[in-house]
């Protein structure tokens, strides 16, 4: 009994020290809290795309954060047309005659995981389009986001399959899924889908 008691005391002291160390690491953001770690692990297992990003701050002459923060990313212009617009009309349309969004392209694991997170704001006519190898029901969440988004779900035929509007950062860790398998997902500022007239059935050219 005499030899057991000192070992017990040493063990308790060791556990208390480990708990204290873990709390300090979490407080200093060296490691993530258990609930966030578990949510992140679940997301990776389910093939979730994230709206998160770590970017270097860059402002234009008006003090707005620019999407050019994502140096090295390719970009494309998405032009939206009313449902049922013919292919010939799309080809003939001039840039000024249609609503458009300049979007950076996220098409690999690194850019998809970064997304738009940690950004204070996004210029009104800009966004990010996620491009997947094949159509699927990939999920999105609002981890590390600081502003609300509209998510536009686009099929491999470049037809809008649905729009999820005004998704707040407060919704994290809720997961948002497309109504049907999609190949592209466009993220823009909340309210932009309505402003551009983007609805289910809209045609997209890019």
pLDDT band at 53 (very low <50, low <70, confident <90, very high): very low
pLDDT band at 110 (very low <50, low <70, confident <90, very high): confident
Q: What pLDDT shows up at residue 51?
A: 52
| Confidence check: pLDDT of 57 > 80 | no
Is 188 domain-assigned? yes
Q: What pLDDT shows up at residue 40?
A: 44
Q: What is the CATH number of the domain that holds 115?
A: 2.60.120.1140
Least confident of 25-29, 49-53, 161-165: 49-53
75-109 pLDDT per residue, tens:
889 889 889 887 777 777 765 556 889 998 998 88
Beta strands in 99-191 (DSSP E): 99-106, 126-136, 140-141, 149-154, 160-167, 182-189
Residue among 112, 119, 120, 114 at smallest CA distance from 139: 112
Cβ atoms within 10 Å of 7's Cβ, excluding its own: 9
Q: Average pLDDT, stretch 191-197?
A: 93
Is 87 domain-assigned? yes
User: How many domains does the chain divide into?
Assistant: 1
Q: What pLDDT shows up at residue 134?
A: 94
What percent of the chain is modeled with pLDDT above 90?
Answer: 39
Angle at 45 between CA 43 and CA 51, to 5 degrees: 30
Q: What pLDDT shows up at residue 21?
A: 61
**Which residues is 77 bridged to in the sheet?**
102
Is 1 domain-assigned? no
**Cβ neighbours for 200, distance < 8 A, ≥ 6 positions apart:** 83, 160, 161, 162, 163
Is 149 domain-assigned? yes
Is 69 domain-assigned? yes
Residue among 85, 70, 105 at smallest CA distance from 205: 85
Is 35 domain-assigned? no
Instruction: Verify cis geometry, omega within 30 degrees of 0, for the bond prior to 173.
Output: yes
Is 131 domain-assigned? yes
Residue among 60, 92, 66 at smallest CA distance from 79: 92
| Confidence check: pLDDT of 192 > 90 | yes
3-class DSSP state of 49 = strand
3-class DSSP state of 169 = helix
What dihedral angle (degrees, nearest 10) is formed by the CA atoms of 164, 169, 174, 177? 30
Is 127 domain-assigned? yes
Q: Average pLDDT, stretch 177-186?
A: 96
**Which ranges of the chain does DSSP label H, i.e. alpha helix?**
4-27, 34-45, 87-92, 109-114, 192-195
119-165 pLDDT per residue, tens:
788 898 899 999 999 999 989 999 989 999 999 999 999 999 999 99
Its domain, for residue 185, covers 48-205
User: How far apart are alpha carbons 52 and 29 in whole angstroms?
Assistant: 16
| Confidence check: pLDDT of 46 > 50 | no
Tell me the whole-structure pTM to 2 decimals: 0.66
Q: What pLDDT shows up at residue 26?
A: 55
**Which residues is 159 bridged to in the sheet?**
203
| Confidence check: pLDDT of 70 > 90 | no
């Amino acid at each position: 009994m005499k030899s057991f008691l000192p070992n017990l005391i040493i063990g308790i002291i060791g556990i208390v020290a480990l708990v204290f160390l873990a709390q300090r690491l979490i407080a200093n953001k060296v490691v993530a809290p258990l609930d966030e770690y578990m949510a992140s692990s679940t997301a990776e297992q389910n093939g979730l795309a994230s709206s998160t990003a770590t970017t270097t701050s860059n402002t234009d002459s008006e003090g707005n954060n620019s999407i050019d923060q994502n140096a090295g990313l390719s970009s494309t212009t998405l032009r939206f047309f009313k449902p049922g617009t013919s292919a010939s009309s799309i080809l003939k349309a001039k840039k000024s005659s249609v609503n458009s969004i300049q979007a950076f392209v996220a098409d690999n694991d690194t850019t998809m995981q970064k997304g738009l997170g940690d950004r204070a704001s996004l210029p009104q006519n800009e966004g990010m389009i996620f491009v997947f190898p094949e159509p699927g029901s990939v999920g999105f969440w609002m981890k590390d986001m600081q502003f609300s988004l509209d998510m536009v779900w686009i099929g491999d035929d470049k037809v809008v399959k649905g729009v999820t509007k005004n998704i707040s950062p407060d919704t994290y860790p809720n997961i948002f899924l497309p109504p049907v398998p999609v190949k592209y997902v466009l993220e823009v500022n909340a309210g932009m889908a309505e402003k551009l007239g983007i609805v289910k059935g809209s045609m997209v050219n890019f």
